[in-house]
Amino acid sequence: MTTQAEMSIAPSAHAHAERKWWHYFTFCEDHKVIGLQYLVTAFFFYAIGGALATAIRTELATPASDFVSPNTYNSLLTLHGTIMIFLWIIPAGAGLANYLIPLMVGARDMAFPKMNAMAFWMVPPAGLMLVLSFFLESPQAGWTSYPPLSLMTGKVGEGIWIFSLLISGTSSILGAINFLVTILKMRVPTMTIHKMPLFCWSMLATAGLILVGTPVLAGALILLAFDLLAGTSFFNPMGGGDPIVYQHMFWFYSHPAVYIMVLPLFGAISEILPVHARKPIFGYKAIAYSSLVISFLGLIVWAHHMFTSGTPAWLRMFFMITTMIIAVPTGIKVFGWLATIWGGKISYNSAMLFAMGFIAVFVIGGITGVMLAAVPFDIHVHDTYFVVAHLHYVLFGGSVFGIYAAIYHWFPKITGRMVNETLGQIHFVLTFIGMNLTFMPMHELGLMGMNRRIAFYDARFTSLNQMATVGSYILAVSTVPFLINAVWSWMKGAKATDNPWNALTLEWQTSSPPAIENFEVLPVLTTGPYDYGEHPSEESELPPGASPVLSGSSSGS
Amino acid sequence: MLAGITLTLASLWYGKNHGLMPVEASSDAALVDGLFDTMMMIGTAIFLLVWGVLIICLFKFRRKPGDETDGPAIEGNIPLEIVWTAIPVAIVLVLGIYSFDVYNSMGGFDPDAAGDPGVQVAMLSEGGSAMPLMDAGAPKKARHNHMALGIGASPDEIGITPDVTVNVLGMQYAWIFTYPELGITSGELHLPANKNVRLNLKAQDVIHAFWLPEFRIKQDTIPGMESELRFTPTRVGDYPIICAELCGAYHGGMASRLYVQSSEDYDKWVQESMPVVENASQTAADLDKLAGSAEVGKNRSDADYLVSAAHQMGLDPQALEQLHPAMPHDSGLHASL
């Protein structure tokens, strides 16, 4: 089932093609090229969004508004939120999905390669348009862009914001169609749905959310654009419109967006933990189906963002209960992960450190998430720094840690070279410290009375804010070892074997980096995706020349 | 076992001693804090459990150098999985019921919250054929045809008129308080201690959110919609009033103070603040008087009539002027008044 690299890749119908560097700058239909295009583009925007965050924290180092003007500050926070969500985490998840899904299910490419390339090439114009708006007239109404404020802060900036999001939303929908069809229709015949890697399960759940949620956001944005540019009054109370309807439509997408951002990384963590702990995933079906449950529940919790808004009591209670229930499938995942590594033989490499760091910080975001679901408590902390802390524990502690874990884990597959572990571990330590130092004090700030999205604040909050600012500088610095590592290892790192982690999923059963159409011969499954550990009967079943994954088990009892 | 006891004790202790909440200035605040303390206990226990497992794994289950074997092939354990599904379900149910109870005690379910009786009667008369089907003989005030927004009367206050009613208007970037019964308009909120208070919240331009951290209550003020907050301040002191919803460039500066005073101090303040015009029937339009300067000079901006209140809010009138040029000044802006 593998090509045990025989000097060179054996000839196949497509072997004449070779990947050139300039392919990465073209409309290329290879899912691996597209995956990398997504990842690199997303990281580029992450750097911009991070620079904006650093500017925000610099402003907040002192109570007075002295670093940028209040108008500029609102632009910073609007662009920071929008870029991080729509141009970093979502495209990075799409990049991982593009790269991994065909390899994991044993396909030669995605179901619709041209549409896939089209989806990617919508991201750079959408992103650049948004970033460049900073020099023209930038949006200032926050990433939520609630009317009537968003109708009053400047037509040009707000218009750019709307069209940028419409384009990236379209890209997201096209990508999701591809993920869904590829996962459902293009698995190798031996891969039943319950032998599918958990990353594919979580992408199934994600794709469903994107397809249901994103059109509703598009609807809200188009109506908002009419209000803004054509003077209609869908959401404008001056003409009898209802601004609360916008909030419902916006959050109908934007709460599921949290799961769109974090579910792919749940999947990645479920892949990474068993490999480096050398144990099967604990409760495969529970983890697989909990993704679908999260996805479904994720669609009926949106109004918990509106507990202090124009929502009647019964609606607040309904959304409180559904929101709290989401803790159950999420808990199933977290406990399953803990049971997976418990008793394992864990290699503490960079990928595993980030994966375990993911659990450590994500669980804090999960706990505060349940707290925020409780209406009486949420009424106190809504729109405060407590919420800022919570969402960053989920989206930085969850998604960003997950993306880093995934990059370290699949780096040998993608580049054919190993990462430098020392730099990776420095990166982890700096990120972990920086993250907690930045966002932990924000919990207390919010509880004590600091509202969010403000350029100046009460002087009694100064010391906690300065802690957070120091933390954010550590976070900014933490990306330096990562960048050096990624670039240097890609150029000069030690050569990676095809399966350096002795993993069992299909992407590791082809060459590193994979050939253009992934597999010489489509693989046949001989084991499940996580059959690590001592299976006395299995050794005899292994075909000769199979991957050496289970060879170690002979020395066990 | 020992670890379990330690974990429980640590969680119980931290839940009571986190010191993360500001002072409680009303009985509602104590209810919310009770809920928060409980959630902190449970949250601390979960946090210690998860971090404990991770830290043990970090030291105990480290792969030995040279050991290339796999760990045990444990693929699941149904009873264990049922336990860690059932426990969160139980926690969620308890927290759900507890939150429901707190919200009810605070007055979240008052069906007449934010209701305007006059409007209701008018709507009733137009109500049409459906009305006779529903308790035809019932007292008229039990009906409501609007959404109740905010925190209304607690169950034992329903039907009782609040001691003090204040109309609150949010505008970029100030809160304006009018006391319809007293004819007072102010940039600060003064309330007597231990009296039941009702705030009627409105917004003039964009969405704001009226937040009293020490009272643990918040409600968005939405243009074109009315909402209310009803509570009883129990602690004399002065407290921040904060706008919690992004409302423009100067959002961070949109703040005021709430002074909870003894009844003597409050009466003194009322005497000092009463308008010279003693005619009570005119006082309902008092807010218009403040806004009147804008009505007279049609071209004047929001900032112009904010200037009069600016010194109270510690703002520089010039700064207000600079912030406003981008804003449209439609006459419709004042329609909600």
Give the distance, in angstroms, between the CA of residue B247 and the centroid of all CA atoms in the same chain: 16
Interface residue of A287, A308, A321, A358 to substitute, partner B, most B CBs within 10 Å: A308
- Strand-pair partners of B211: B218, B242
Question: In this structure, is residue B111 part of a structural domain?
Answer: no
B113, B158 contact by CB (below 8 A): no
Question: In this structure, is residue B65 part of a structural domain?
Answer: no
Q: Do B165 and B310 belong to one domain? A: yes
Q: Do B321 and B238 belong to one domain? A: yes
A316, A372 contact by CB (below 8 A): no
Residue A360 touches partner B, C-beta closer than 8 Å: yes
The verdict on a CB contact (< 8 Å) between B72 and A382 is no
- Strand-pair partners of A451: A384
Question: What number is the average pLDDT over the span A504-532?
Answer: 88
The verdict on a CB contact (< 8 Å) between A455 and B252 is yes
B96 vs A244, A321, A334: nearest CB = A321
- Contact map slice: A 3-62 vs B, CB within 8 A: none
> How far is the alpha carbon of B274 from chain A, nearest alpha carbon, in Å?
31
Residue B241 touches partner A, C-beta closer than 8 Å: no
Question: In this structure, is residue A547 part of a structural domain?
Answer: no
Residue A359 carries which side chain, given as an amino acid letter? I
Residue B57 carries which side chain, given as an amino acid letter? C
Rounded to a whole number of angstroms, the distance between the first and last alpha carbons of chain A is: 27
Question: In this structure, is residue B269 part of a structural domain?
Answer: yes
The verdict on a CB contact (< 8 Å) between B32 and A377 is yes
Residue B214 carries which side chain, given as an amino acid letter? E
Residues of A in Cβ contact (< 8 Å) with B57: 338, 341-342, 344, 346, 356
A480, A430 contact by CB (below 8 A): no
Question: In this structure, is residue B146 part of a structural domain?
Answer: no
- Count of domains for chain B: 2
Cβ neighbours, 10 Å, residue B147: 17
Q: Do B89 and B191 belong to one domain? A: no
Residues of B in Cβ contact (< 8 Å) with A283: 75-77, 81
A17-54 tens-digit pLDDT: 677 888 888 899 999 999 999 999 999 999 999 999 99
pLDDT grade, residue A6 (50/70/90)? very low
Question: In this structure, is residue A309 part of a structural domain?
Answer: yes
Q: Tell me, what's the pLDDT at A299?
A: 95
pLDDT grade, residue B146 (50/70/90)? low
The pairing of strands B217-221 and B208-212 is antiparallel
CATH number at residue A178: 1.20.210.10
Question: What number is the average pLDDT over the span B66-92?
Answer: 91
A380 vs B68, B84, B218: nearest CB = B218
Longest CA pairwise span in chain A (Å): 77
Interface residue of A293, A379, A432, A538 to substitute, partner B, most B CBs within 10 Å: A379
Question: In this structure, is residue A526 part of a structural domain?
Answer: yes
pLDDT grade, residue A394 (50/70/90)? very high
A168, A87 contact by CB (below 8 A): yes
Question: What would the two tokens of residue A125 be?
Answer: 């114009």
Where are the alpha helices (H) located in B160-301, listed in sequence order? 263-273, 286-296
- Contact map slice: B 142-171 vs A, CB within 8 A: 147-149, 151
B114, B199 contact by CB (below 8 A): no
The verdict on a CB contact (< 8 Å) between A344 and B57 is yes
Helix (H/G/I), strand (E/B), else coil: B240: strand
A332-355 tens-digit pLDDT: 999 999 999 999 999 999 999 999
Residue B27 touches partner A, C-beta closer than 8 Å: no
Question: In this structure, is residue B303 part of a structural domain?
Answer: yes
> Which ipTM value was assigned to this complex?
0.89
Asked which of A7-21, B189-203, B300-314 is least confident by mean pLDDT, the reply is B300-314
The verdict on a CB contact (< 8 Å) between A346 and B62 is yes
Q: Tell me, what's the pLDDT at A308?
A: 93
A107: containing domain: 32-530
pLDDT at B29 over 90: yes
A314-331 tens-digit pLDDT: 899 999 999 999 999 999
Question: What would the two tokens of residue B199 be?
Answer: 């705030």
The verdict on a CB contact (< 8 Å) between B218 and A316 is no
User: CA-CA-CA-CA torsion for A110, A111, A114, A119, nearest 10 degrees?
Assistant: -70
Q: Tell me, what's the pLDDT at B73?
A: 87
**Separation of alpha carbons A543 and A507, rounded Å:** 18
Asked which of A139-143, A161-165, A506-510, B129-133 is least confident by mean pLDDT, the reply is B129-133
A477-496 tens-digit pLDDT: 999 999 999 999 999 999 99
The verdict on a CB contact (< 8 Å) between B253 and A456 is yes
B154-210 tens-digit pLDDT: 888 888 889 999 999 999 999 999 999 898 999 999 999 999 999 999 999 999 999
- Count of domains for chain A: 1
Helix (H/G/I), strand (E/B), else coil: A291: helix
pLDDT at A255 over 90: yes
Q: Characterize B176-192 residue by residue with b for buried, 16 or more Cβ atoms within 10 angstroms of its Cβ, and e for exposed.
A: bbbbbebbbbbbbbbbb
Q: Do B311 and B178 belong to one domain? A: yes
B244 vs A321, A347, A383: nearest CB = A383
Q: Do B94 and B160 belong to one domain? A: no
Q: Do B266 and B184 belong to one domain? A: yes
- Contact map slice: A 303-322 vs B, CB within 8 A: 308-313, 316-317, 320-321
A527-538 tens-digit pLDDT: 888 988 865 444
Question: In this complex, how many residue pairs, one in chain A and one in chain B, have their CB atoms less than 8 Å apart?
Answer: 294
Residue A238 touches partner B, C-beta closer than 8 Å: yes
Residues of A in Cβ contact (< 8 Å) with B149: 310-312
Question: What number is the average pLDDT over the span A283-307?
Answer: 95
**Separation of alpha carbons A328 and A322, rounded Å:** 11
Where are the alpha helices (H) located in chain B, listed in sequence order? 2-17, 27-60, 78-106, 117-125, 130-133, 263-273, 286-296, 302-313, 317-323
Q: Do B166 and B102 belong to one domain? A: no
**CA–CA–CA angle A245, B168, B193 (5° rounding):** 130
Determine the residue of chain A that is closest to B36 in CA distance: A377
Question: What number is the average pLDDT over the span A97-101?
Answer: 96
Question: In this structure, is residue A19 part of a structural domain?
Answer: no
Q: Tell me, what's the pLDDT at B262?
A: 95
Q: Tell me, what's the pLDDT at A238?
A: 87
Concatenated DSSP letters of A124-190 = HHHHHHHHHGGGT----STTTT-TTGGGTS-HHHHHHHHHHHHHHHHHHHHHHHHHHHHHHH-S-TT
Q: Do B196 and B319 belong to one domain? A: yes
Question: In this structure, is residue A548 part of a structural domain?
Answer: no
The verdict on a CB contact (< 8 Å) between B73 and A149 is no
Q: Do B163 and B229 belong to one domain? A: yes
- Contact map slice: B 69-88 vs A, CB within 8 A: 69-77, 80-81, 84-85, 88
Question: What would the two tokens of residue B138 be?
Answer: 């019932």
Question: What would the two tokens of residue B183 be?
Answer: 């004819």
A406-465 tens-digit pLDDT: 999 999 999 999 999 999 999 999 999 999 999 999 999 999 999 999 998 999 999 999
Nearest Cα to A122, choosing from A35, A33, A246, A38? Answer: A38
Question: What number is the average pLDDT over the span A8-22?
Answer: 57
Determine the residue of chain A that is closest to B332 in CA distance: A238
Q: Tell me, what's the pLDDT at B113?
A: 64
The mean predicted confidence, pLDDT, of chain A is: 90
> How far is the alpha carbon of A43 from chain B, nearest alpha carbon, in Å?
29
**Which residues touch B99 (CB under 8 Å, ≥6 apart)?**
A320, A374, A375, A376, A377, B35
Residues of A in Cβ contact (< 8 Å) with B258: none
Q: Do B56 and B171 belong to one domain? A: no
Q: Tell me, what's the pLDDT at B114?
A: 53
Question: In this structure, is residue A10 part of a structural domain?
Answer: no
Q: Tell me, what's the pLDDT at B69?
A: 85
CATH number at residue B299: 2.60.40.420
pTM score, whole prediction: 0.87
pLDDT at A209 over 60: yes
Burial class (CB in 10 A: 0-12, 13-18, 19+), A230: exposed
**Which residues touch B152 (CB under 8 Å, ≥6 apart)?**
B107, B108, B109, B110, B111, B112, B113, B114, B228, B230
Nearest Cα to A179, choosing from A209, A200, A198, A195? Answer: A200
Question: In this structure, is residue B22 part of a structural domain?
Answer: yes
- Contact map slice: B 266-295 vs A, CB within 8 A: none
**CA–CA–CA angle A341, A344, A348 (5° rounding):** 75
User: CA-CA-CA-CA torsion for B97, B102, B106, B111, nearest 10 degrees?
Assistant: 0
> Is the sign of the CA dihedral A300, A304, A308, A313 positive or negative?
positive
A338 vs B21, B53, B205: nearest CB = B53
B170: containing domain: 156-327
Q: Do B92 and B186 belong to one domain? A: no
B63 vs A146, A313, A345: nearest CB = A345
The verdict on a CB contact (< 8 Å) between A345 and B58 is no
Nearest Cα to A413, choosing from A36, A91, A119? Answer: A36
Q: How many residues can be counted in chain A?
A: 557
The verdict on a CB contact (< 8 Å) between B326 and A281 is no
The verdict on a CB contact (< 8 Å) between B326 and A343 is no
Question: In this structure, is residue B55 part of a structural domain?
Answer: yes
**Separation of alpha carbons A271 and A355, rounded Å:** 10
pLDDT at B236 over 60: yes
Q: Do B88 and B175 belong to one domain? A: no
